[in-house]
Structure formats: structure tokens, C-alpha cells
Amino acid sequence: MVAARFKVLAEPTRLEILQLLQDGELNVSEVTEAVNSTQPNVSKHLRILQDAGLVSRRQEANSVFYAIADESVFALCEVVCGSLREKLAERMAALG
């Protein structure tokens, strides 16, 4: 299960979508425009995120909206990003 969760998060487009949804619910068209991709590609990534339980889906008339379903994903991302910031700072210091 852990490996499957990391596999879902290993795709940059999915990380970008999660980051967008952190500010609130968006419809598929808004996500598509924001990530500068195609609707079928974005829908595929949203379906993967939904299947993993990271986002929720809501339909209103002809529009489908997505929102974050598991806020813990941001804590995980912050741990990884914090570690990478530290490593980068160490490398920059070593280079002088």
C-alpha cells in the first residue's frame, strides 16, 4: 500500500494537480487550463488520484469538480520538500 501511494505521487502532473486543489475545489476545465495539458490526460490523472483516495469527485449538471479528500498528502509532501531544501542548502554551502 505504501509503494502504491508513492507511485501515485511519483508523477509530476499529479503533484501539480494536488497543489492546485490545495486552494479549493476546481472543475476539470480549470485544472486542464492550469496544468496546460489536455482534458483526457488531466481526467486520467484525476481518476488515478481519486482511486488512491487523495481527491474526491462531485458532479454538478455538466461539470465535474474535484477537491482534496486526504489532507495528509500535504504533510507527506512537506516532509519530502523540507528534506530536499536541506540537501540543496548543504550542496550550495559546500560550493561556497
Q: What is the pLDDT of residue 48?
A: 98
CATH tag for 2-95 (out of 3.20.20.70, 3.40.50.980, 3.40.50.2300, 1.10.10.10): 1.10.10.10
Secondary structure, 3-state, the chain: CHHHHHHHHCCHHHHHHHHHHCCCCEEHHHHHHHHCCCHHHHHHHHHHHHHCCCEEEEEECCEEEEEECCCHHHHHHHHHHHHHHHHHHHHHHHHC
Q: Where are the domains of the chain?
A: 2-95
Q: Would the pLDDT of 77 be above 90? A: no
Distance, in Å, from the CA atom of 30 to the CA atom of 41, rounded to the nearest integer, reads 13
Q: What is the pLDDT of residue 81?
A: 85
Q: What is the pLDDT of residue 15?
A: 96
Q: How confident is the model at residue 17 (pLDDT cuts 50, 70, 90)?
A: very high
